[in-house]
Chains A and B, each alone.
Chain A
Amino acid sequence: MEAVRRLNYRERRANRIGTGVSPAVVIALVAAAIFLLVGSLLSPIFAQQTVAGLAQGAVFASLALALVLIYRATEVINFAQGEMAMATTYFAYQLTLWHVSYWWAFFLTLIIAFFFGAIVQVAIIRPVQRSVIAVVIVTVGMFVLIDGLVTWKWGADLKFMPAPFGNTVYHVGSVAFARQDIGTLVVTIISVVLLWVLFKFTKLGLAMRAAALRPASAALVGVRVNRMLAIGWGLAAVLGAVAGLMTEPTVFLQPTMMQAVLLYAFAAAVLGGLESPAGAVIGGLALGVFLNLVGQYVGFATSELRLPIAFAVLLIVLLVKPHGLFGSKQVRRV
């Protein structure tokens, strides 16, 4: 049956042609960047909030990118992405309990996360992948399952890991930057750039894009589509692990640590256009900065309003620009 099932890869989408980035979006992004730069030069608090926002946004961005990777390949939102990230962060915690130093635990966890994601695809997603609804329900089920297993194994109380970047604060003029924020930003930027290089410049990356875009055609040139999907889920889990590990220093380790982050990441991914990796990254960064600046300068916007504001942004984007900032036009050609 397996062979037969594999014959019927779905190719349901229209051609996506063009970069999908309209001049208006580019102008808006450039204007926002200038605004942030000028603001940061004029006000130390503005600068601090912007950098902290970028750091938070980087975490949203990496989880959003994980969502986008899977959405492009499987056409579903993986609702368990945040919980998978949380679970892998617990793996790292367990490693540090075994006296593995933080950064060794960090890299080991990324490797474990890759296999975790790939195995999830092979064992749980692949058997139901012909039905989008089934996959969605399975990911929701995984959300509950992972949550339960982690709570059972490690308990629901707060756990603490060694601080990866320490509590150093750098002073540039009158502006104070937390080493934690800079570190988070650097780690996420490195992982996103590595992923981009993989997809853009390697044969494996090309095959993965082909398998995600047009599985039937990819199989005809010899690409092992199912293997590529498993690798894609593995890479998404690695990104999730990065997001989890970079979230831990601020909210500490608890089974619910990624739930809000997943929602922000979802908002970021939709903001960027759901199918656009670059959109997810920019969407995440923009959301992080926006939320921080609103929290700082808008009096009534207390932290309870962060999530509602994020979704107000999402709603406005969907009303004004349904395909997101970087979503492409759907074109059909004979």
Chain B
Amino acid sequence: MPPLLELVDVTARYGPVQALHGVSLTVGEGEIVAVLGANGAGKTTTLRAISNTVRREGEIRFGGKAVGRKGPESVARFGIAHVPEGRGTFAELTVWENLRLGAYSRRGSVKDDFARVLSYFPWIQDRRNQQAGTLSGGEQQMLALARAFMQRPRLLLLDEPSLGLAPVLVTEVFRIVRELNEHEGLTVLVVEQNAHIALQVAQTAYVLEVGRVALSGPSAELQEHESVRRSYLGY
């Protein structure tokens, strides 16, 4: 069986600036994979290449089939949910409308999905008519997860979920990511600056340096790796 997601020698550029110099990685069904690296290493661009929100070359296969170049709308319809930098919250809309938009590309009732979302995020029930922009940062991150979950994705792309959150909330966000992975079989590709927590949650990790994969392997091995410890874990 082919891996769920496969990137082969993917390059991407923003105008004259080359952001990815040939990234190859695979994500197996049911896995949590982390992408680590410093600022500007190409972590976010890797996710954007997958969701076709940046111009890219190279091959990307999802479920064995090539992901075309037809724009982010069609990638979303394949079953890839991308929670981008800034979380992609529709700040002007209500919490409920944000969730409804998550299920946009599917027909039929969303009642069951909403009930399942509430089982992971019970606080949403009382806040469903609140404007999403008035939520706290942590709540907005949870809402972004919930919205992605409404999409019933086969793959969740998460960009820096810890950004701007208090440590307690970071732990909480990753606890829910792991729960979704264990209980719902959700496959996750997460980009993260916070290597500590990412290596704890992910089974496999890739380390990017200036647009290339510098290191990869099971998280447990990377945690022990000399240069990872020094550069990203700080001990």
Q: Which residues of A contact B (CB under 8 A)?
A: 3-4, 6-7, 15-18, 203, 206-207, 209-210, 213-214, 216-225, 331, 333-334
Known contacts A207-B104, A331-B133, A334-B137; can you find 10 more A-B pairs with CB under 8 A?
A18-B134, A203-B104, A209-B92, A210-B104, A216-B88, A218-B101, A219-B73, A220-B51, A333-B91, A334-B164
Q: Is B70 an interface residue (CB 8 A)?
A: yes
- B52, B72, B88, B134 — most chain A CB neighbours (10 Å): B72
Q: Which residues of B contact A (CB under 8 A)?
A: 51-55, 69-73, 76-77, 81-82, 84, 88-93, 97, 100-102, 104-105, 131, 133-134, 137, 147, 151, 164
- B133, B134, B147, B164 — most chain A CB neighbours (10 Å): B133
> What are 22 A-B pairs at a CB distance below 8 A?
A3-B52, A3-B71, A4-B55, A7-B71, A17-B131, A203-B100, A206-B97, A210-B97, A213-B93, A216-B53, A216-B88, A217-B84, A218-B101, A220-B72, A220-B84, A221-B104, A221-B105, A221-B151, A222-B73, A222-B76, A223-B104, A333-B133
A15 near B104: Cβ-Cβ < 8 Å: no
A223 near B55: Cβ-Cβ < 8 Å: no
A17 near B134: Cβ-Cβ < 8 Å: yes
B90 near A214: Cβ-Cβ < 8 Å: yes
B131 near A219: Cβ-Cβ < 8 Å: no
B133 near A221: Cβ-Cβ < 8 Å: no
B72 near A7: Cβ-Cβ < 8 Å: yes
Q: How many A-B residue pairs have CB under 8 A?
A: 97
Q: Tell me what chain B mostly uses at the interface: helix, strand, loop, or mixed.
A: loop
Q: Which residues of A contact B82 (CB under 8 A)?
A: 220
Q: Which residues of A contact B92 (CB under 8 A)?
A: 15-17, 209, 213
A222 near B77: Cβ-Cβ < 8 Å: yes
* A7–B55 alpha-carbon span in the complex (Å): 8
Q: Which residues of A contact B93 (CB under 8 A)?
A: 206, 209-210, 213
* A203–B96 alpha-carbon span in the complex (Å): 12
B84 near A223: Cβ-Cβ < 8 Å: no
Known: A214-B88, A222-B73. A18 touches B101 (CB 8 A): no
